[in-house]
């Protein structure tokens, strides 16, 4: 590997003769290196890539259904292969920069199921570098998932932009009733997909994700049950956005949303929906100067999480749970959320051209999803899990089991018109919503 930052664009003042001399000499010097690199290049040939797994957690037994995927999103190369064991070789790989993902399942002696994911993002495969080691992380299968996310906003009849109709549908994907009380919702940093990933403290050692703003469901513990197959809607602003004073072309009537991100904005007054509890923003519990909770219309990264019962977690009081982005001079503080707290994570990006700009830990979400452009009134929605015959899997109650492989590239349908409670999801019994 060599680094090369040609920087002949010097801003020091120069006489015109020195400038002319540099104009003649600099091309010669950089040209020698260019000639050397160009003549050294050999014709491209396909490789045999070897992928080795590092999966050392003693709880994991019985590795099954392992699949390795090699994706070069820029060039459109996608390879996939099933295997057993901890090593696999893939033939016919065109050299390039790949995102290499391995997924499978393991079960523990306590009969818990772990979804195993491992990922190497932007890994160059070329002659002389054909081996790659993937560290596998496991996540217990979560009962609570993001079912649908509508973030892109819409256009008004006069073609202006409109973003007040964002919403998030949270679904109970398990066969048991769970309680929403105290479950956290957060959007992660960076807000928008970018190849300039942040720099976090080395001591964090990949154990955290970093939240920009955190909310949580209210309740004392059992106030908000969510039965199997039920879902709740959290709206940025819980109104019917199709009304003339908002945007008749909006696809979302959120007047029946159960929860709302109330930012005390007099122009968008508090609606009957239950307010989410604001937990964290820029190092404090205050909501900040700007009275709106707008997540990026290009696509943000979102998590649902819950600390274990016996653990305290307070990023406002505990400053060791706060950090700025060390890659910039900005002083904004982000909250550290341990990866093992996360119940579900979804990473949304602008479009497939940003597929190489992975910013969420692959153990949480190995892929990404998108709607393709901004203000197009489209959403992403989780797919039903199919059985062997392609029919949706359901619980005995008839509730759909949604696909949750911790890979939103596979788990989500992209660019669909938003529909509240798709696939017949039900409202919780305590919901006062008059609409669907």
Partner 1 sequence: MTINRFSPVLLVLLILKGIPLTQAQQRDVGVFERIRLESQWQHGNVGAGMTLDSIASFRNVELTYEHTSGKFRSPLSGEKEQNINVTAQEYIRLKELRLWGKFSFLQNLTDSAGYNASISDPFRGMPYYVIDPYRSDWRKQLYDLQFCASLPLPNRRILLGMRGGYHAGLAAKQRDPRVDTRTFTLCFSPSLVYVPSSRHRLGLGIDFRSMKEDSQMRQESYSKDQEYFELYGLGHAIRGLGGGRVTDYKGLCWGLQGQYQYDHPLFLAQGSILGTSGVEDVFFSFSMPRKDASLLEKRVESSVTFLSKGKEVRHRIQGQVGWHERSGIQYMNKRDASESSLGWIRVHGDKRSVFVDNEYSLHYTVYRPLQESYRWLFETNAGYLYSRDTYLLPHSAQEYRQWMAEIRGNHVFDFGDRRHTSLLAQVRGGYIKTFQREFVYGSLHEDYTPPKQLETQNFAFLTSSSLDGECALTLTTDVPSLSHTRTYLRLLYRGRTALRSELGSRTTWNASVGFLF
Binding site for partner 1 (CB under 8 A): 1-7, 9, 23-24, 27-28, 30-31, 34-35, 37-46, 74-77, 94-97, 122, 124, 126-129, 159, 195-197, 199, 326-327, 350-353, 373-374
Of 420, 165, 156, which Cα lies nearest the Cα of 295? 165
End-to-end CA distance of the chain: 57
User: In the complex, what is the shortest distance from the CB of residue 44 to partner 1, in angstroms, rounded to a whole number?
Assistant: 4
User: In the complex, what is the shortest distance from the CB of residue 163 to partner 1, in angstroms, rounded to a whole number?
Assistant: 15
List the structure tokens of 384: 């039903």
> 111: helix, coil or strand?
coil
In order of 185, 304, 428, the CA distances from 182 in angstroms are 10, 11, 17
Burial of 107 (0-12, 13-18, 19+ CB in 10 A): middle
**Interatomic CA distance for residues 196 and 415, integer angstroms:** 26
User: In the complex, what is the shortest distance from the CB of residue 106 to partner 1, in angstroms, rounded to a whole number?
Assistant: 31
> Which is nearer to partner 1, 61 or 196 (by Cβ)?
196
User: In the complex, what is the shortest distance from the CB of residue 435 to partner 1, in angstroms, rounded to a whole number?
Assistant: 32
> Which is nearer to partner 1, 96 or 338 (by Cβ)?
96
> Which is nearer to partner 1, 48 or 195 (by Cβ)?
195
**Interatomic CA distance for residues 340 and 308, integer angstroms:** 9
Q: Are 66 and 84 in contact (CB under 8 A)?
A: yes
> Which is nearer to partner 1, 27 or 269 (by Cβ)?
27
> Which is nearer to partner 1, 93 or 239 (by Cβ)?
93
**Interatomic CA distance for residues 41 and 377, integer angstroms:** 47
Buried b (16+ CB within 10 A) or exposed e, 253-286: bbbbbbbbbbbeeeebeebebbbbbbbbbbbeee
> Which is nearer to partner 1, 26 or 286 (by Cβ)?
26
Residue 151 is classified by DSSP as: -
Q: Is the dihedral of CA 290, 291, 293, 295 positive or negative?
A: negative
User: In the complex, what is the shortest distance from the CB of residue 206 to partner 1, in angstroms, rounded to a whole number?
Assistant: 14
**Interatomic CA distance for residues 274 and 435, integer angstroms:** 16
> Which is nearer to partner 1, 94 or 249 (by Cβ)?
94
User: In the complex, what is the shortest distance from the CB of residue 303 to partner 1, in angstroms, rounded to a whole number?
Assistant: 22
User: In the complex, what is the shortest distance from the CB of residue 348 to partner 1, in angstroms, rounded to a whole number?
Assistant: 15
Q: Are 116 and 140 in contact (CB under 8 A)?
A: no
User: In the complex, what is the shortest distance from the CB of residue 430 to partner 1, in angstroms, rounded to a whole number?
Assistant: 42
> Which is nearer to partner 1, 44 or 393 (by Cβ)?
44
What lies within 8 Å, CB to CB, of 203 at 6+ separation is: none
> Which is nearer to partner 1, 32 or 393 (by Cβ)?
32
User: In the complex, what is the shortest distance from the CB of residue 139 to partner 1, in angstroms, rounded to a whole number?
Assistant: 26
> Which is nearer to partner 1, 22 or 419 (by Cβ)?
22
**Interatomic CA distance for residues 171 and 148, integer angstroms:** 9
**Interatomic CA distance for residues 316 and 280, integer angstroms:** 7
What radius of gyration do the chain's Cα atoms show? 24
User: In the complex, what is the shortest distance from the CB of residue 195 to partner 1, in angstroms, rounded to a whole number?
Assistant: 6
**Interatomic CA distance for residues 422 and 436, integer angstroms:** 10
């Amino acid at each position: 590997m060599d680094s090369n930052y040609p920087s002949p664009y010097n801003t020091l003042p120069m006489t015109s003769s020195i400038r002319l001399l540099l104009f003649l000499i600099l091309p010669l010097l950089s040209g020698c290196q260019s000639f050397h690199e160009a003549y050294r290049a050999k014709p491209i040939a396909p490789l045999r890539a070897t992928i080795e797994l590092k999966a050392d957690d003693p709880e994991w037994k019985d590795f099954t259904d392992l699949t390795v995927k090699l994706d070069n999103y820029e060039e459109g190369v996608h390879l996939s292969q099933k295997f057993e064991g901890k090593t696999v070789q893939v033939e016919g790989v065109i050299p390039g920069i790949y995102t290499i993902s391995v997924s499978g399942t393991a079960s523990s002696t306590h009969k818990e199921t772990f979804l195993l994911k491992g990922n190497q993002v932007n890994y160059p495969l070329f002659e002389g570098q054909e081996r790659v080691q993937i560290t596998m992380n496991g996540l217990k299968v979560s009962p609570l998932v993001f079912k649908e996310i509508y973030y892109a906003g819409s256009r008004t009849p006069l073609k202006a932009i409109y973003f007040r109709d964002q919403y998030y549908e949270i679904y109970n994907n398990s066969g048991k009733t769970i309680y929403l009380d105290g479950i956290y919702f957060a959007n992660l940093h960076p807000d928008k997909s970018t190849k300039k990933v942040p720099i976090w403290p080395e001591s964090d050692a990949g154990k955290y994700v970093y939240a920009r703003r955190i909310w949580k469901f209210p309740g004392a513990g059992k106030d908000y049950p969510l039965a199997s197959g039920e879902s709740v809607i959290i709206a940025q602003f819980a109104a019917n956005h199709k009304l003339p004073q908002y945007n008749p072309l909006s696809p979302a009537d959120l007047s029946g949303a159960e929860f709302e991100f109330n930012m005390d904005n007099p122009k968008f007054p508090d609606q009957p929906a239950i307010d989410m509890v604001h937990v964290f923003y820029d190092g404090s519990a205050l909501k900040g100067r700007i009275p709106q909770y707008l997540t990026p219309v290009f696509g943000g990264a979102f998590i649902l999480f819950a600390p274990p019962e016996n653990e305290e977690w307070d990023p406002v009081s505990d400053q060791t749970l706060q950090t700025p982005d060390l890659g910039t001079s900005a002083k904004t503080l982000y909250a550290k959320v341990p990866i093992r707290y996360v119940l579900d994570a979804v990473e949304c990006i602008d479009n497939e051209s940003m597929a190489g700009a992975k910013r969420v830990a692959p153990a949480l979400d190995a892929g990404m999803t998108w709607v393709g452009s901004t203000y197009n009134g489209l959403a992403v929605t989780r797919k039903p899990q199919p059985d062997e015959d392609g029919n949706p899997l359901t619980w005995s109650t008839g509730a759909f089991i949604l696909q949750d492989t911790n890979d939103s590239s596979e788990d989500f349908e992209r660019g669909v018109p938003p529909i509240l409670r798709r696939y017949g999801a039900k409202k919780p019994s305590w919901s006062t919503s008059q609409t669907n």
